[in-house]
Every structure is written in C-alpha cells, then in structure tokens.
Chain A
C-alpha cells in the first residue's frame, strides 16, 4: 500500500524588539535570572499590559512577507491554562480576530516551486523558562512577555524533506525583513509539527500526533522521518494511531509519547479586557509596506533581469540574504555577475557548507575576492591556482596580490620557459604523441596535464595546448 504523509508546522518566532510585548522590560538574551521582569510580565496582581507598537509593526512585516491578509481590526484574547512558566495562568494571544490569515510561502520542492499555505500569523507573548532539577523545578521569567509570533502552516507539507525546506525558506524570508534572530538554539525560533498518514488518494486526514522538542531544522526532519516511519509501521500492523503529543529525543533520534495525564485542552479563549482593539489604518500599513526591504522573490527577479544570471543561480543567491548582499556588493565593484555567481555558488558555497559557516563568517573582503577574479581575467593566475588561493585568502585574510607574490603563484608568462617544458614532455611521452598524431584527441589532455604538473599549475593551459599542437 502507498501512503501519503501530511504535515503542518507551527513556528514560534521571538520578535526583535528592545522591550517586551506588554511592558518595558528588556528582551536581551542571557541576562541573570529574573532580572528583566516587572509586575506586568510577572503577572503580579493589579498590573496591566500596554501593547508595544514595534511588536505590532514587526508582526505586520512578517505577515506581509508571507503574503498574508492583514485584518483591519485586530484583538487580543486570553488563552487560559495552568503551567508554572505562565505567571498569569493565561497567555495574551489572538484567537477570534488575529493579525493576519491566508498567506503562503513558496518552497522549492524537487526543483519545483510549491506554495505552502499559511493559515494564520498572530501575535502573543512568550512564557518563562523552566529548569528541571532532580527533585524540583526552577523558573526564570526573563523570557516571559517577549513578543512571540505564531506562524501556522496548513497541513500542506507532504514529506519531512519538504518540512525542512519550508523552514529554510521561512528563515530566509524572516532574515530579509530582519525581525528576529531566528536562532533555534537560543530559542528565538521554535517549531512544533503535526503529522499524520493517510492512504494515498484518500481525502480524509489520518489521526495526527504533535511532535515537540526539536531544536534544529535537521532535528525537525529527523523527528518527522522517524514519526512517519513509526506511523506507517503501526498502520501496516493494523494498529490505530493515538492522537497525542510526542517528544523528540535528539540523542536517540526517536519520538516518545509524553504519556502525561494531561486532559483535553479547554483554553477558554475570551477577549482580553485589559487591552483595546488595534485598527490598522491604511496609512500605517502603507508606511510599513513602504519600509519593507526587497523580499527574496522580487530580488530574484531583479537579479535575473539586471545581471542576466540564470534562474538557478539567482535562486541560490537569494536563498541567503547575506549571500545576496555579498553578491550585489561584488557586482557593484566588478561588473562580471556570471563569474561572481559561479564562484559564490561553487567554491565559496562548498567551503561554507564544509565548515558549517555563513558567508559573513568567512570574513572575505569583497575587494580581495574581486581582486582574485581580476587576476584570473588578466591571465595573471590560472583558475586552478585561484581555487587554492581562495582558501588561502579565507584562512589568512590576506590580499590576493600579496599572497600570489609571496607564494610565487603567477602564471608563467615567459613563453620560452613553457616551450622548454613542452619540449621535455613531448620527449618523455612518445606514446601519447603517437596517439595524437593518429587522431586520438584524448591524448592532448594527458599531455597538457603533464605540462601543467611540471609548472605546478602556473602555465596557461590554453597556451600549452596550442604550443603542443604546433610542436607535434
């Protein structure tokens, strides 16, 4: 039997405001426990919330970037439940009239663009943080009250890999609009997943489980892969899936039922009487829209039009905001977009991936990178030499001219010197010379390789080729 996997993701995103959502406490990460709290975020009796306008602006930016419809009038509701990290025993959230709904996020799935629908994006407040000791738990409320966006996708995602790509795309968009640190380790971006399995072609959804406790995009993927397999195996065995919350354990790579006595939730949402509605006036929204940075999709189109680079290259470049910025900076000082794109997508991306870095971490000056390209174009160094030069540049932070001089990497421009080596190679490889004469074209590559080896790559292969043909 074939099965279809149905996944919906719920992302929580801390917004990068100076102060909390409903009080003036700082949102800085890593302060000593309970030093960034006040009567309001501690939920002390008698305290009252006042909305931070910036939180709403950042939230609106996210909604716009995810193609959501922003509601004219929004309200806050109380979500009532008891947990020690929630000091008021209710969370100020949005229920009946959320900030925005009906968005979508384009995600690259198997080389094709898939639009994953976004159900809603709404603003709420973060909870405190619990530290579990052996026989008791401790609470730090510094995080409590930090503005938090809930971004809920439709169950539109059909594989763990797609879920991974959705998160990557989402993070990329969020980075462009600069509203959050998007740091899963520090908890500024969190993700829970709902997953169910149904028979391929079936209209009805299967019983879903909710997976929590994943602290990286990879973990989301691994957890969903495990859960997908587990559910399919259960179904094959004729078992029923139990609707439950399961915790992912990163060490073992499996999900486990929370098995708590937690009863069905009844959050008793009702309008938060301590806050008044917010009306998005056209001018206010227009102003936010006008100040929106260029989003990946628009940027991709512009890069293709302006620099005539391929759809593939453009997509790869805009996939990372900083890569795109780097690209444009390079192009602005050296008008060779195609070459720049090739290097960025090739050797530079490979290095980044291999060392788990970002383009910014490389700290590679655009002047240095472009200087290297200029040396290739002027024939001063070979492309092959450039590959190792790039790594030297990254590791030593030195100017490419200095490195080339220091290491004597200049292309041999003295034709006499190359000619001597060519002669040597012809004498040493009579068989290949014969092959070439008898029309075996492959032999030329072998001979060029020999010359290049003797010059330690400093000869221009095109010139060597010509010279060999002339001499043979």
Chain B
C-alpha cells in the first residue's frame, strides 16, 4: 500500500470507512513526512506535534455527519484558530493567539477534521512567491531553488510534497491558484461570498476568499462543500444552498461551451506554458466540450485596478496593527504617535510597507478620484467582460500563471515584475467569480504547469466538473516531486 501521507482525503476516508486504518495512523504518516521534508521546504510555521496527538485523541466518535472525520488539515497562517498562533507570517503579529475561531475552522472541527498547524505565506498575503514571510521563504518541492508561488506558498508546497493531505489557503488575487499551479496541485478560489470570511485576517475585504489546496479535484470538491455556506457573522456571506459538489462533479461535460480569451495569450507567456495549454484545450475538446476563442477586452487593466483597490483596502485593514491590543509593540517610543510609527516600522516588512503606502496614497485627498475611484470604475468594465462572456460560455480556460516557478530572489527587487506574475488570476477576484487551477503539464525542467478554469458566480460545480473530467483523462496530478 502507498504511504498514507501520499493519499488524498477521499482515499483516506474510504480506508477509514472499511476500518483498515485509524486517524492516528494518518497523522503519524503525515508527521513522518514533515520530519523528513520540512527542514528543506519551510512550508510550515506554527506546528506542535503534541497538540496534534491531543486533537486526534480528543476526536469525537465517528458518525455520518462528519465528512472529514480523522483527516488532518493544514491552515494558512492568516486564518484564526482559537488559542493558536495566527501571525500572517508577520513580525507585527508576533505571539498573537486569537480568542476565537474562523468560521471555516469551526466547520472543519464539526466535520471531524484534525487541525495540524499553520502554513507559511507571504506577509499578510502580500506577494506571489512566499518570499516576504518573516519566517523565511518556502521552497518549491519540485526545485528547491525556486519559489512555490504565493501567497499560499506554504499550503501548496506542503500538499505537493505530501507533508499534508490538503490545506486551506486564501486567494485575493491568485494566492491559491498561482501557488497550486507552480507546485502541481489543485487550488480553488470560490465565488466571493461562498465561504465565510469571518476569522480570515483581511488583506482586501472585497476580494478575499478562503479556498482548498488539494491533491486532486475530488478533494477540492469535498473540502469546498464543508467550508461553504451562509454565515451570519459575515455580512458578505451569501445565503445559497451548498450543492453536493463531490457527486455533481462526476457528471460528464459533453457540449459545454468553453471560452479561450485571446488576451491571455500574450507576449511574456512562457512558450512551454503555451504549448501545455494548447494540448489541454485539445484534450478538453476530446472530452466533448466546445472550445472557442473569445475576448475579455479589459484584461490588460486588471493588474492596475487590482493594485489600487487591493492596496487601498489593505492600508485600512492593516491600520489596526498598532501595538495597542496585541502583537508587537516598539519599546523605543516616547509618545503614542511614536509608538504607532516605530511599531509599524519594525513590525512590517518592505512589501507590506510598500502596499500600505501605495493604498494610503490611492485613498488620500487629492488622489482619490484619479486612482482609487478610477480603479473602481474600471473594475466595473472587467466585471462586465465576464458577465458578457458567461452569457455565451459555461466556463473560461486560461493558463494560471504566465510562467512556471521562478527562482528565489529573481523578482524581489522589482515589485512591478512580481505583480505582473498575477496577471491571469487577478481578474477573477475583481469580478468575484470562482476559479480553479489544475495541473496540466510539466516543463522540460520538470516544473509543473497549471490550467485555470473560471466560471460564473456560484457555479463552482461546472468548473470543478470540467477539472475533474480533465483530471480523469490525464495523469499530471499523480506526479509527485522527489524530495
């Protein structure tokens, strides 16, 4: 039998159901993998083996309502877990243990999942490479000299390396899909409002969503079903019934109409990524879908809109980190204003400072109309592009990232180049639509390539169905890095 840590959640559930294994066996398998690999990857940030055993031993008895009973899960470090370190991989939240759970954490616990620990991320999810973490860079398990993508780089890396069964990430501009693509795993950003944001430490409140990082599409469907649903604690959580994704995605995809946006096949798109895409499209057509070139005319403005809107919201969301109630406080300060400035100077890394300053600028008097307001108006155009597209198409297929994983340090000196690596994922957040990245090939250097499938709002089912059928027709998701 394969090692338990290499299995998917649905495979483990099947084994648990026939009584072949116990939750403790799974945890032991995962813990062994962590011991062997994480020193090289640095995917995990807050992790306590003893607590994991405590939680497994405290598991309530198995019953039919607990969809994830006994399955270990890792959580991105920006999702609050009661009495556990939750730091957004930032010095400014040093030592912070929230006295409350995120709603998704309560849902996982109610479903019998075992919380393992926290995964590394770009500081406050500001980044596409997990290089801005205060705990150091996470490495890509396919090539330790390369970045895993970001900001949920820790989550994608630990799942790809079989240090985890699956994980929860968060996606504001591609932070689940891009690392999933670069690490060769599945990553899903749900529709805005599908999953409660309560307890997710906000980066950009109008864009953030929590979503699964998994080894295959079925697990993504399984996890999505558990974490979705209305939450009265989140005013932006939508009250719509949650479909039974795991069974619905197994239906066929015949005659689905899929759009291929011309604007995504641009200069700067890596040739190998392009080739993989072409092959994937052919495969999808073979499955019975109809693929057609189409336009999303305002795509080229997405990055600009995103970096104004997201940073504006972030500048306000991160204003609360001032050293008054929790986290770091500078001891050098003489006055309270000084305390703010010094605490934030030593607590935030460069990228956080840069984004806070950019966002503050975009909102400040005299610049608001030219930057923030204009960005919101162009956001309307981008949203409309998708509304129009989904009148005609059931889904849209694009590359997830224009390039495979780049080298550590390659883009850190040039923030704009780094921002442009989100170019294909950002629009989904601006429009609020769901998107999933699935493995669709490898470069000659054995780096994973991801395919992004975008859908209309609250139609996760269709994009997961396409992804599932594609996965059934390919083996990409079965390849694992040797580490």
> Do A and B touch, yes or no (CB under 8 Å, in the complex)?
yes
Residues in A lying within 8 Å of B, measured CB to CB: 39, 42-51, 78, 80, 82, 84, 87-90, 137, 139, 266, 268, 270, 273-276
Given contacts A44-B98, A47-B198, A82 and B232 within 8 Å (CB-CB): no
Are B324 and A87 closer than 8 Å at their CB atoms? yes
Render B364-404 as a binary contact track against A, CB cut-off 8 A, 1 for contact.
Answer: 11001000100000000000000000000000000000000
Partner of B100, one of A39, A88, A276: A39
- A residues near B322, Cβ cutoff 8 Å: 82, 89
Partner of A270, one of B79, B316, B321, B326: B316
29 A-B residue pairings within 8 Å (CB atoms): A39-B99, A44-B325, A45-B202, A45-B321, A46-B80, A46-B200, A47-B199, A48-B198, A48-B233, A48-B234, A49-B235, A50-B232, A50-B234, A80-B315, A82-B322, A82-B340, A84-B324, A87-B325, A88-B320, A89-B320, A137-B336, A139-B324, A266-B364, A266-B365, A268-B360, A270-B312, A274-B205, A274-B236, A276-B236
- A residues near B336, Cβ cutoff 8 Å: 84, 137
Closest A residue to B326 by CB, please name it.
A44
Q: How far, in Å, is B321 (CB) from chain A's closest CB?
A: 8
- Tell me the bound Cα distance from A274 to B205 in angstroms: 6
- Tell me the bound Cα distance from A447 to B477 in angstroms: 118
Are A270 and B235 closer than 8 Å at their CB atoms? no
Are B236 and A88 closer than 8 Å at their CB atoms? no
Q: Is B206 an interface residue (CB 8 A)?
A: yes
- A residues near B86, Cβ cutoff 8 Å: 45-46
Closest B residue to A262 by CB, please name it.
B337
- A residues near B340, Cβ cutoff 8 Å: 82
Closest A residue to B323 by CB, please name it.
A84
- Tell me the bound Cα distance from A84 to B340 in angstroms: 10
**What count of chain B residues pass the 8 Å CB interface test?**
45
Are B235 and A276 closer than 8 Å at their CB atoms? yes
- B residues near A276, Cβ cutoff 8 Å: 235-236
A interface secondary structure, majority: loop
Q: How far, in Å, is B369 (CB) from chain A's closest CB?
A: 12
Are A46 and B199 closer than 8 Å at their CB atoms? yes
Closest A residue to B313 by CB, please name it.
A273
B336-382 residues with Cβ-Cβ distance < 8 A to A are 336-337, 340, 360, 363-365, 368, 372
Q: Is B1 an interface residue (CB 8 A)?
A: no
Q: A82-B340, A89-B316 are in contact. List 5 more A-B contacts (CB 8 A).
A: A46-B98, A46-B200, A90-B316, A274-B236, A275-B235
Indicate the member of A78, A87, A270 with the most B CB atoms within 10 Å: A270
- B residues near A46, Cβ cutoff 8 Å: 78-80, 86, 98, 100, 102, 198-202
Q: Is B93 an interface residue (CB 8 A)?
A: yes
- A residues near B321, Cβ cutoff 8 Å: 45
Are A45 and B363 closer than 8 Å at their CB atoms? no
Q: Is B319 an interface residue (CB 8 A)?
A: yes
Render B177-208 as a binary contact track against A, CB cut-off 8 A, 1 for contact.
Answer: 00000000000000000000111111011100
B85-130 residues with Cβ-Cβ distance < 8 A to A are 86, 88, 93, 96, 98-100, 102
Are B93 and A45 closer than 8 Å at their CB atoms? yes
| Ranked 10 nearest A-B pairs via Cβ | A89-B319, A273-B205, A268-B363, A273-B206, A45-B201, A46-B199, A46-B80, A46-B201, A266-B365, A88-B320
- Tell me the bound Cα distance from A459 to B448 in angstroms: 112
- B residues near A78, Cβ cutoff 8 Å: 316
Q: How far, in Å, is A305 (CB) from chain B's closest CB?
A: 47
B70-87 residues with Cβ-Cβ distance < 8 A to A are 78-80, 86
- A residues near B98, Cβ cutoff 8 Å: 39, 44-46
Are A80 and B325 closer than 8 Å at their CB atoms? no
Q: How far, in Å, is A74 (CB) from chain B's closest CB?
A: 14
- A residues near B364, Cβ cutoff 8 Å: 266, 268
- A residues near B233, Cβ cutoff 8 Å: 48, 50
- B residues near A47, Cβ cutoff 8 Å: 100, 198-199
Partner of B80, one of A45, A87, A88: A45
Partner of A51, one of B235, B324, B337: B235
- Tell me the bound Cα distance from A51 to B235 in angstroms: 8
Q: How far, in Å, is B132 (CB) from chain A's closest CB?
A: 18
- A residues near B93, Cβ cutoff 8 Å: 45
- B residues near A42, Cβ cutoff 8 Å: 325
- B residues near A39, Cβ cutoff 8 Å: 98-100
Closest B residue to A270 by CB, please name it.
B363
Render B414-451 as a binary contact track against A, CB cut-off 8 A, 1 for contact.
Answer: 00000000000000000000000000000000000000
Q: How far, in Å, is A271 (CB) from chain B's closest CB?
A: 8
- Tell me the bound Cα distance from A66 to B201 in angstroms: 40
Closest A residue to B361 by CB, please name it.
A268
- Tell me the bound Cα distance from A50 to B234 in angstroms: 7
